[in-house]
Every structure is written in structure tokens, then in C-alpha cells.
Amino acid sequence: MMWFLRFSRVWWCLLPLLALSPPVYAAPDIEVASADQMDTVEAREVVVSATKTPVPITQLTSAVEIITEEDLKRRQIKMVSEALRLSQGLTVFSNGGPGTSTSVRIRGSNSDQVLVLIDGAIMNSATTGSFDFANLTTDNIERIEILRGAQSMLWGADAMGGVINITTKRGTGAPSANAFFEYGSFSSIREGGQVSGKTGIVDYSAAISRWDYTGFSAANYRRGASERDGFHNWQTSARLGVALPHEGRLDFNFRLLQGRVNIDNGFSPGFDTLGAFNTSQQFVYSAAYTQPITTWWNQVLTVSRQTEDAESFSGTTQRNLQTGVVSTPFLYRSQINTLSNRIEWQHNIQIAKPLLLSAGYQFREQQGQSRDLLTNNLDIPTKIVSSNAGFAQAQLNLWERVFATAGVRYDDYNVFGGATTYRTTAGYLHQETGTKIRSSYATGFRAPSVNQLYFPDFGKSDLKPERSQSMDIGVDQYLLDNRLTLSGGYFWSRYRDMIVSQQSVDVCGSSFGFANFCAQNIGLVSTKGWEASVKYAVVRDVPLIKSLDVQAQYTNTLTRNLVQQPGNRAPRMPVDQWSMVISYQPIDPVRVNLEGRYVGSRFNDVNNQEKMRAFDVWNLSASYDVTNRVQTYVRADNIFNEKYEEIQFYGTPVRSIFVGLRVNYDAK
């Protein structure tokens, strides 16, 4: 109950501030927002990912969360994974500190069932199927849109659990530049700069940053690990936009993610390893061309490529943290090269006012290659998984109250054949009370990864795609002139033909000594649960409170294996999770943020034998605008010095403090 005591201390401190706000229960005195007021709010919060066309969030029939550049900056968040840890329905765990392998799951899905895109480029690895968030910082990111639930109808493979769509900042206004420097615990040094602006028909933004981090042991030092595992990161990004005649637009995007991190337990958990490391260098290129053809017909063409060169080394010596025995690890040094190409051409046709039709074609290609650097042999020669897909969707909007979508998609793959998916959604907005009811039902699929198809003594070339069915129903309530938003809902998913590692007597070899374990389509998992959230602009412009904002969310997720270990919960998936963010601005130059998250107990293994305790972590940050060009800030992570593990045997940060300075220059 330590989390409850800590939460209580925070809550009692907030009561005097909350008492200054208007009472929520005074329903008879609430003035419902006018249509003009709602349009103003909707103009600020428009979502593209849910339908691939701009839709005001109050008219959306999908479960969506938006994280903006402002949210990231005012809370001094360095890594995208830090922001996702506090998001609705997401489970984010790392194998140690910054730079170590970081996976994201949505509503109980696997990490390779979550599609991640940056500026339209597919980030999921061709070999593993998932995206590792280890090296992705928040520099020059304008927006993160998170879609919960199956999205394969619009986005194709890997979107069974949901989609995380990340957008690079678009330059606006007069040219400006900023630079920052940060120093903190674990000898952490960060520095970087950014320029952005708009001149005539051209807008631009570019950023570069570096982060050196001595770090702490990736294996939990409380279990006896001794050495520090450092992290070194470079990030470069740019966006160039050109306004074309007749409301057309051309966008070019580029991003470089480069990281090197020392690791422990590279091959098996519970070992403190010397000399082990991972390196990764990713290049992301994309371009988008948008052009209206008539007043009722427009098109969007997107082209992207993402490449990654990664290297892993097992280290030379390892010590068992339980027995203390020193030994030589299973020696490996591997290089993995992957590539993802995507071309999509979409047309949107407005049929009168209530009906919008969208149709498009997508080509997707992923290549993977794995080499053993110790022998210079190819474990996997270059293999290609590619597809051609067509999709169509109808969106209905009646009287700005009744909303519905329906769509179908067909993907034709070179490795297994075809996959058909569909999705329907419906919603109703009662404008007089600000109440919206929404629901959806969808099917999804995931193509086998290169590793699952071709890795020696494990892969099977005849694997089928994983498939899913999912539904949700929810209610969103807008109150107090849209200052208060309450949301709640129920979700259910069923995943079948899941690709799992299973022992077989006659299918796979055993050159790695694993007794014929290989990939097979035998997994069957169900997930269900409910989620609730609140977002409240509590106070504006009263003495000692310039602003006070509170947002919180709770997710309950029940997972069950239905074939392997029937009745067991999925590994590392907690039943209960919640998070809270409180932002307090007493006067214009000062802002204080408190954020906390709770992760319930879970099992580390599929047999549900290794139980891991619940934990809660609280962070505090504050900033002060010395002038309109200079800002200082401080961030304290894990302020109660919680002792916890996200994944068994792996370390997490102790109480740590980071202090920074930002300098801005505006040409105006």
C-alpha cells in the first residue's frame, strides 16, 4: 500500500488548490458549450491517424490519445518511451536504463502487434517485427497520436493492437532558434539545438542533439551487479515543406537515430556481463505530396524508407547474480541490417456533405539480413517480405451528431498469400450535454517476421499470419465549456494463430542447443478490460494560480492464454495500471509538474511462476522563464526512490536529478 500512502500525500497537498475551482457536481449551473465554442476546441484537436483524414476529436469514433510538443516540453521529457509510459492502455518496459531494449504493448497485445510510424515511415523491424524505442528522443517531435485497438483495415500488418504515429515538427512563423544544455545524475550530459520557421511558401525545422550517460548497471545492482552500463545517443531530424499552387503541399522528412549502450544478460537473464553492447543506426526518409484535384476530390501520395544497421556483442565474462559463479557467456557477435519501404497513394472524394469516401493503394516491402561477425557467415541471407494492398473506407457525418465509418482492405503477401480485414465504427454526439457514445469492431492481422520465417533452426517458411478480432465501446463527456473531459470504455480482443516458440520433435534443428524449438501458429490469447480517464483544466487566472491542469487514466486488462498454459495470464502484463499528471503554473514564468504511474503485479513467465510485485513511481519537474529567451529547469525522477523492476533481473533508476538551461532566439 506504499503507492496509496504516497498518492494520499500528493492528494492532500492539492486539496487547497482544487477547492478554488468550480464544483463539477453543479450540473444545473453548467452552461453547455455553443457550437462556435466546440468548433474552436475541435480546431485545436484534430486527429488524422484514425481515418487518414482530418477529423475533430469530438467527432472521432475511435479510442485515441494525443501527446503534443507542448506536453513533452513542459514536462521536460527526454525519451518518447517516457511519455508513452503514462498513456492510456500502454505497457512500456525496458531491459535496464536509457538505451536498453524498450517494448510497447497496447491493451495486452504483443509489441510486434503495434505498428509504429515516423512521418509515414514504418519503424517496425523486418527481423523482430517490433520497434525498439531505446534510441528515440523527443527532439523536434510535434505530435504523437496513439490509436488503441485493431487498425489493420487502414494501416495493414502489425496494427493488430494499435498504431503509434509520430510526426516531426512543422516550421511556422518568423525564423527562430534555440539551444539547450542539461546535466544530471549518472553523469548525464545532453546538449542540442533547433531552428524552425516559415519564409514565403517554404517552412522548415531542423534539430540535432547528443546525450552521453554513464548510467547504472542494466542488471539490477540490488541483486549484486556492479559495473555501470553507459549510453551514447545522437539524434538529427529535419522537415522541409513547400506550399504548392491550388492548396497543394510537398513535405520532405529526415531523421537519424544513433545509439550505443552497454548491456547485461544479453543471452540469458540474471547475469552481470562485462563488455556486452548493442549499437544501432537508423535512417528515416519520407516525402508526402498533397494536392486537391477539385473542390471535392483530393489525393495524398506518401513515399518512405527506413534502414537500420545494428550490432550486438555478448561480452567476454559473466557472473551469475544468484550463485556468484563467473563463466564465459555464449559467445556471439552479430550484425543485422534491415530496410522498410512504403508507398501509399490515397484519394478522398466528398459525396455531398455527409459522406466522404477514401480509397488507396499501398506497397510495402521489408528486407532483413543477419550476419555472424565471428565467423563472417550469413545466418540469414537477404530475405524480403512484401505486399500489395488496396483499401476503401466510407465516413458518414449526419448533422454533426451521428458519425460512422466502414472499410475493407485486402493485402497480398509474397510469403503467405492474402489477408482481408475490415473495420466499422459508430458514434453519437449529444451536443446539448456534450456526451459522445462511440463503438468499433475490427479484424486485424500480422505478417510473420523475417526471423520467424527464416532464422536457422527456428524459422518456418510456411507460417500463416496472426489474426485478431477486437471491439470496444466507450463514452466521452465534455463539461464546463470543454475544460473537463471524462472518458470510459470497455474493450475485448481475441488473437489466434499467434506465432510462438514451441518444442517439436521433427520440424526444427537444434544447432543452438534448444532441443528443436521452432516458430509455430498455435497461440490463442484473449484480452479484455476497461479504461477510464479524466482531463481537467481546473483553474485559470486566479490569485497564485495562473493555471492548474490535471489528467489521469486507469486501465484494467485481463489476458488469458487459451491453448498454451490454458488460463494463465500473458507474461509481463499487469492487470491494473494508472497514471496521473498534474501541471501547476502559479505565475507566468513558473511551471511545476508532478507525474506518477502505478503498475500492478504481473508474472514474468508464461507459466505464471515468477510473480513480480506492483510498483509506483513519481517524478517532479519545474521550469522558470528567466526572460522571454532564457529558461532554466529541473527534473527529479523517482522522487520516493522506489525499488522496482519492470522486467525481472533488470535495473531501474534510483532517485535522480537533472538540471538544464534553454536559450531561445526569435527573429521577430
The average pLDDT across 358-383 equals 93
Nearest of 235, 311, 219 to residue 80 by alpha carbon? 235
What DSSP string runs through 267-328?
Answer: SSSSEEEES-EEEEEEEEEEEEEEEEEETTEEEEEEEEEEEEEEEEE--SEEEETTT--EE-
Q: Is the pLDDT of residue 19 over 90?
A: no
* pLDDT surpasses 90 at 17: no
- Kind of pairing between the strands at 271-274 and 277-294: unpaired
Cell of 485: 473531459
- Domain spanning 2-666 has what CATH number? 2.40.170.20
Span between the terminal Cα atoms of the chain, in Å = 53
Cβ contact 181:194 at 8 Å: no
CA 252 – CA 238 distance, rounded (Å): 8
What does the chain come to in residues? Answer: 668
The whole-number pLDDT of residue 137 equals 96
Residues 653, 216: contact at Cβ < 8 Å? yes
**Looking at the predicted structure, is the pLDDT value of residue 15 above 70?**
no
pLDDT tens, 628-665? 999 999 999 999 999 999 999 999 999 999 999 999 98
Rounded Cα gap, residues 336 and 74, in angstroms: 37
3-class DSSP string for 514-533: CCCEEEEEEEEEEEEEEEEE
Per-residue pLDDT reduced to its tens digit, 343-356: 999 999 999 889 99
pLDDT in tens, 492-548: 999 999 998 877 655 565 444 445 678 888 889 999 999 999 999 999 999 889 999
Per-residue pLDDT, averaged over 428-448, amounts to: 95
Residues 6+ apart with CB under 8 A from 544: 586
Is 622:634 a contact under the CB 8 Å cutoff?
A: yes
Q: How far apart are CA 288 and CA 52, in angstroms?
A: 13
Q: pLDDT confidence of 12, banded at 50, 70, 90?
A: very low
- Domain ranges in the chain are 2-666
Is the pLDDT assigned to residue 266 strictly greater than 90? no
pLDDT at 24: 34
For the chain, what percent of residues have pLDDT higher than 90? 78
* pLDDT higher at 14 or 368: 368
Residue 33 per-residue DSSP state = P
Instruction: Scan for cell 519503424, then name that residue.
Output: 123
Helices (H), ranges, 476-553: none
Please give the pLDDT value at position 269.
77
CB-based contacts of 539: which residues, under 8 Å, 6+ apart? 17, 20, 21, 545, 547, 548
pLDDT above 70: percentage of residues in the chain: 91
662, 630 Cβ separation under 8 angstroms: yes
Each residue's pLDDT tens digit, 193-239: 999 999 999 999 999 999 999 989 999 998 888 889 999 999 999 99
Q: What is the mean pLDDT of the chain?
A: 89
**The pLDDT value given to residue 23:** 37
Virtual torsion, Cα 595, 103, 306, 521, nearest 10 deg: -150
CA 158 to chain centre: 13
pLDDT of residue 5 exceeding 70, the answer is: no
Q: How many CA atoms lie within 13 A of 636 on its CB side?
A: 11
pLDDT tens readout for residues 127-178 = 999 999 999 999 999 999 999 999 999 999 999 999 999 999 999 999 999 9
Residue with cell 482492405: 409
Separation of CA 112 from chain center: 12
Query: Is pLDDT above 50 for 407?
Result: yes
pLDDT of residue 13: 40
